[in-house]
Amino acid sequence: MEKMNHAFEKMKMLVGMDVEDEESAVENDSNSFAFIEDFNRQCTLTTKQSLLVFFNPIKFGITFTFGNLLSLGSTAFLIGPKRQVTMMLDPARIYATAIYIASMIIALFSALYVHNKLLTLLALILEFGALIWYSLSYIPFARSMVSKIMLACFDTEF
């Protein structure tokens, strides 16, 4: 734990944050949760930051969609682009892939070209749902299980 706290202090110095003096560092060594508590204090969002989607959905839509594109690119980097495309075009997930890519295109189009906040927010909801459905396509029987649960939850027949 001491090594982790020391590494965290070095990281603080690199970022430019204030480093605790040695007296408080000795006190933190006695507390085994000092690193986690300090990490939690540094990783907090304000209410405005957490509600960015509603204050400025266009900016959030652009960053969320580019983040999704980067995640697809990172998996292509890890397993190779040919295998990535082969897996995306697999008959079990071809529709999920098409909806996911189309939703990203719609979100970018509505955010960058149309500049309509409501349309961008709706496109983001579609993109998020498509992302979940696309991700579930990689887990065996996950989509059928989720479909059955959703039908059971929203079944109106008694």
The whole-angstrom separation of Cα 112 and Cα 58 is 8
Listed in sequence order, the DSSP H helices in 89-157 are 94-109, 117-136, 142-153
The whole-angstrom separation of Cα 85 and Cα 51 is 35
Q: Which amino acid is at 114?
A: V
Q: pLDDT under 70 in the chain at which residues?
A: 1, 4, 8, 11-33, 45, 50, 158
Residue 86 tokens read as 């082969």
Phi, psi of 155 (to 5 degrees): -75, 125
Q: What is the rounded end-to-end Cα distance, in angstroms, of the chain?
A: 57
Give the CA-trace dihedral at 127, 82, 146, 98, to 10 degrees: 40
Phi, psi of 40 (to 5 degrees): -65, -35
Residue 25: predicted pLDDT: 47
Residue 32: predicted pLDDT: 53
Query: Model pTM?
Result: 0.67
